[in-house]
Amino acid sequence: MKTMNSFHYLAQLDKRKKADALVIPFWKGKERGEAGISLPPSLTSPLKNILASGDFKGNEGEVCILYLDHEPEKRIVLLGLGDKKKMAAEALRRSYGSLVKNCLGRKLKSLNIVVPDVDESFLRGVVEGFLMANYRVDRYKHPDPEEGGRPSLINEVTWISPHKSMKAVAEKALVLSQAINLARDLTNGNADDITPQYLEACAKEIAKRNPKIKATLFDKKRIIKEKLGLLLAVNRGSSLDPAFIILEYKGNPKSKDKTVLVGKGITYDTGGLNIKVANMEVMKCDMGGAAVCLAVMQAVAQLNLKVNLKVVIPSTENCVDAKSFKPGDVYTSYSGKTVEMMNTDAEGRLILADGLAYAAKNLHPTRLIDIATLTGGIDIALGPEATGMMSSSDQLADAFQKAGDTTGERVWRMPLFEEYRERLKSDIADIKSWNGRSAAPCVAATFMKDFTQEIPWVHFDIASTAYTTEPKKYHPKYASGICVRLIVEFLEHLGDK
Ligand code: BES
Ligand code: ZN
Ligand code: ZN
């Protein structure tokens, strides 16, 4: 995967250079007409006929192509933006996502894009939708000569807009999309490539590129010494060592405020001795939470945000072996609490419990955020339409609800009823790991809450949103990198009241 590397900016159409296509946006219905800047007569007269014919309506994401002589581009692409009255950043993301899908299908590589005349808050939708759609998983596939070789991405864009903040908005979206694509690449990569050791190398690389980030990596010996007992339990079945990664970014050294992100880094989930009977082929995605944490760290540092952020990633495979941890056995966690293992496939909450307890005890968090492909049940409850959110703090949950609305990365709060804790009572240990399928996402979150030391905490279950086998809105199929923009948005507004 190669990311978009060259953006150019123009305030007007006349100085534009050659490109594969010129994109002109249109609103739908009565207000139909070009939504960007005014066009020269060489373009307006051919457009008049098309618009009069009614063949192009300006519906959201609709694309119509004209072939004109004497323009610097071979093609003129009309892009529908939908109803102007219903204008929203998310609708623009979808429209520009649809544009990219169409252009990739035609193997277009360079575009001159007229930007609609909208407020800055909507402007980001245009660039984000464009960039997030401009991604494909092409690492493992040989090019098909009949298809004209390797599918390649759009790699050159000139944004044509008189808007003063166009460049700043676009450059920020570029940083975010590079982080999202890092999360996607890590999640889409072969499980045999993206190992705990690979995540370590990736964390080290991110720290190397930014002097404000410090990386601390615990090897197996240190993990044993620290008594991260649940991470070690899950690691027993794997031929690879576990990893425990800590990244620290000081963007506001004067403040004591610290956000700690904990990400589930299961690089492959077979289920362990409770081996999976279905869907194991998607379980390379089980480090999706860890990937989001690394991506957020990269974006926050590149954007130079004035916040203090730490990332904790417990990582291992969950495999089957003679040494595998066994259902029914009791293990001691980092916190000291003992856990009765009810199902070895409920491994995510175990490594997160150690990660959360370690963070609570040693990293002085003002708030704890964990992000994990945690339960199949969240897909039954919400599907790919929303990320499940559980929180011990109304304030945190409200802030994320807001960030979800702004970014289009929808979250849906689910309960943490007291009764769920009752279900986790064990006769032989301090807590059990699992209690069956009923309310599984909520019970899993309730298990982890026991390890947060009453620090304000929010949990995101991304098992239904991090990886999909169908394309969704402006996300191509497979890893979405969802929650990167959500968490960055939250961090940017931390100081707001
Ligand atoms: N990694 C899975 C959850 C998951 C499901 C991630 C679908 C991505 C897509 C998790 O570790 C798991 O196995 N959960 C099981 C636990 C249960 C069988 C004990 C679940 O929720 O079904
Ligand atoms: Zn599992
Ligand atoms: Zn898992």
Q: In the predicted model, what is the mean pLDDT of residues 114-132?
A: 95
Ranges assigned E (strand) in 166-255: 213-218, 243-250
Ranges assigned E (strand) in 28-72: 33-34, 63-66
Q: Please tell me the distance between residue 353's alpha carbon and the centre of ligand 1 in angstroms.
A: 16
pLDDT of residue 3: 56
Q: Whose CA is nearest to atom 19 of ligand 1?
A: 346
- Ligand whose nearest atom lies closest to the CA of 278: 1
Q: Among the atoms of ligand 1, which is closest to the Cα of residue 444?
A: 21
Give the environment of ion ligand 3: residues with CB less than 5 A.
Answer: 266, 269, 286, 348
Whether this prediction's pTM lies above 0.95 is answered by yes
Lookup: tokens for 24? 């002109």
Would you give the distance in Å from CA 157 to the centre of its chain? 23
Place of tokens 């007409």: 33
pLDDT digits (tens, 9 = 90+) for 146-203: 766 666 899 999 999 999 999 999 999 999 999 999 999 999 999 999 999 999 999 9
Lookup: tokens for 92? 């623009």
Q: Where does the pLDDT of residue 41 fall: very low under 50, low under 70, confident under 90, or very high at 90 and above?
A: confident
Q: Whose CA is nearest to atom 21 of ligand 1?
A: 375
Nearest-CA neighbor of 444 among 359, 365, 345, 368? 345
Rounded Cα distance between 170 and 149, Å, is 30
Q: Whose CA is nearest to atom 7 of ligand 1?
A: 376
Q: Please tell me the distance between residue 486's alpha carbon and the centre of ligand 2 in angstroms.
A: 25
Q: Please tell me the distance between residue 345's alpha carbon and the centre of ligand 1 in angstroms.
A: 7
Give the environment of ion ligand 2: residues with CB less than 5 A.
Answer: 269, 345, 347
Would you give the distance in Å from CA 194 to the centre of its chain? 17
Nearest-CA neighbor of 87 among 134, 31, 133? 31
Q: Whose CA is nearest to atom 3 of ligand 1?
A: 375
Q: Among the atoms of ligand 1, which is closest to the Cα of residue 285?
A: 8
Place of tokens 């209690």: 435
- Ligand whose nearest atom lies closest to the CA of 271: 2
pLDDT digits (tens, 9 = 90+) for 52-67: 888 999 999 999 999 9
pLDDT surpasses 60 at 448: yes
pLDDT of residue 497: 63
pLDDT surpasses 60 at 2: no
Three-state DSSP at 75 gives strand
Q: Please tell me the distance between residue 374's alpha carbon and the centre of ligand 3 in angstroms.
A: 6
Q: In the predicted model, what is the mean pLDDT of residues 124-149?
A: 88
Q: Where does the pLDDT of residue 461 fall: very low under 50, low under 70, confident under 90, or very high at 90 and above?
A: very high
Q: Among the atoms of ligand 1, which is closest to the Cα of residue 342?
A: 19
Nearest-CA neighbor of 230 among 144, 348, 354? 354
pLDDT of residue 40: 87
pLDDT digits (tens, 9 = 90+) for 70-86: 999 999 999 999 999 99
Three-state DSSP at 71 gives coil
pLDDT surpasses 90 at 309: yes
Ligand 1 surroundings by CB, under 6 angstroms:
269, 271, 282, 285-286, 343, 345-348, 373-377, 434, 440, 463
Rounded Cα distance between 356 and 313, Å, is 10
pLDDT surpasses 70 at 29: yes
Q: Please tell me the distance between residue 477's alpha carbon and the centre of ligand 2 in angstroms.
A: 22
- Ligand whose nearest atom lies closest to the CA of 463: 1
pLDDT of residue 346: 98
- Ligand whose nearest atom lies closest to the CA of 282: 1
Q: Whose CA is nearest to atom 13 of ligand 1?
A: 345
Give, rounded to a whole angstrom, the gap between the first and last alpha carbons of the chain: 40
Average pLDDT score, the chain: 95
Q: Whose CA is nearest to atom 9 of ligand 1?
A: 463
Q: Please tell me the distance between residue 444's alpha carbon and the centre of ligand 1 in angstroms.
A: 10
Q: Among the atoms of ligand 1, which is closest to the Cα of residue 347?
A: 11
Q: In the predicted model, what is the mean pLDDT of residues 466-475?
A: 96
- Is 125 in contact with 116 (CB distance < 8 Å)? no
- Is 298 in contact with 249 (CB distance < 8 Å)? no
> Which of 37-41, 203-207, 223-227, 417-421 is predicted least confidently?
37-41
Q: Where does the pLDDT of residue 48 fall: very low under 50, low under 70, confident under 90, or very high at 90 and above?
A: confident
Active site residues: 276, 349
Nearest-CA neighbor of 400 among 297, 491, 309? 491
Compute the Cα dihedral for 444, 479, 370, 346 and give only its sign.
positive
Q: Among the atoms of ligand 1, which is closest to the Cα of residue 271?
A: 13
Would you give the distance in Å from CA 277 to the centre of its chain? 27
Among 280, 286, 339, which is best to mutate for testing ligand 1, by the most ligand atoms less than 8 A from CB?
286
pLDDT digits (tens, 9 = 90+) for 323-343: 999 999 999 999 999 999 999
Rounded Cα distance between 246 and 200, Å, is 9
Q: Please tell me the distance between residue 268's alpha carbon and the centre of ligand 2 in angstroms.
A: 9
Rounded Cα distance between 264 and 196, Å, is 11
Phi-psi region of 319 (alpha: psi -120 to 50; beta: other; left: phi over 0): beta
Among 375, 432, 435, 448, which is best to mutate for testing ligand 1, by the most ligand atoms less than 8 A from CB?
375
Q: Among the atoms of ligand 1, which is closest to the Cα of residue 440?
A: 21
